Amino acid sequence: MTSQANANPVAAQEPDVEQVARYLASHPEFFENHADLVAELRLSHQSGNTVSLIERQVQVLREQNEGLKTRLLELVDVARDNDRLSDRVHRMTLDLLATDGSAALTDTLEDRLRNEFDADSISLFLTNIDENQQRESGILKLDANDELKALFEPAFSENKPQCGRLSAEQTAFLFREQAQAIESAAVVPLGDHAQAGLLAIGSREAKRFNNSMGTLFLCHLGELLLALLRQKGLG
């Protein structure tokens, strides 16, 4: 006697959806050998209508093309911004190199950072500077004790610029009487782990400096500034 399960062997062997999907994934040439089926396939569209597989592929390719176009335009904008930044850095470097004396150096640095890079406040601290040099240059004395190192840990421990919104204590130390107006800032170590000092650049705009921004320019600025200061007997 034949059982009911054996009475319909075709139904028993019919593949499920997952098996079909696995088969098509492992046999991408399937529709090349069965091209007539492509035109028969129907997929739902966001409009509520059904479209053929070919129409859906065209739609997907068009969307991918738009995405690539948008990304390309974004990259072009970034490249232009980088070119403009490079030009400004180059001009500032030449101006700093042309200064005579520490006072002229710090004045030029502040002027360029304000006018070319939208800085609202600049403070320069050095660990090795005497009172006469402080009066002449306007540079502040930095006592790099453990408390200060903890306050500006990225600069001292991690040897990298710190960007973003600072605490009230940090802002007060760096910008003194201008502290209340500063909404974001960049703190740049001078020398390895800030052993020579700190450069602080403040902005009244909360989004001007943030912790996700690139810091390559700031690192280069710190290296350039320290080299120039040492040429003038500071740092």
Query: In the chain, what are the domain boundaries?
Result: 16-98, 101-231
pTM (whole model) above 0.85: no
In this predicted structure, the answer to whether residue 57 has a pLDDT above a threshold of 80 is no
Q: Mean pLDDT over residues 114-130, rounded?
A: 94
Residue 1's pLDDT is: 44
Residue 64's pLDDT is: 85
44 or 174: which leads in pLDDT = 174
* CATH no. for 101-231: 3.30.450.40
In this predicted structure, the answer to whether residue 113 has a pLDDT above a threshold of 50 is yes
In this predicted structure, the answer to whether residue 127 has a pLDDT above a threshold of 90 is yes
Query: Which contacts (CB < 8 Å, 24+ apart) does range 167-176 have?
Result: 171/202, 173/148, 174/123, 174/198, 174/200, 174/202, 175/121, 175/123, 175/200, 175/202, 176/123
Q: In what order do the strands lie in the sheet with 121-126?
A: 140-141, 121-126, 197-203, 184-190, 162-164
Residue 80's pLDDT is: 87
pLDDT digits (tens, 9 = 90+) for 137-193: 999 999 989 999 999 999 999 999 999 999 999 999 999 999 999 999 999 999 999
In this predicted structure, the answer to whether residue 43 has a pLDDT above a threshold of 70 is no
- CA 30, 35, 40, 42 torsion-angle sign: positive
Residue 59's pLDDT is: 76
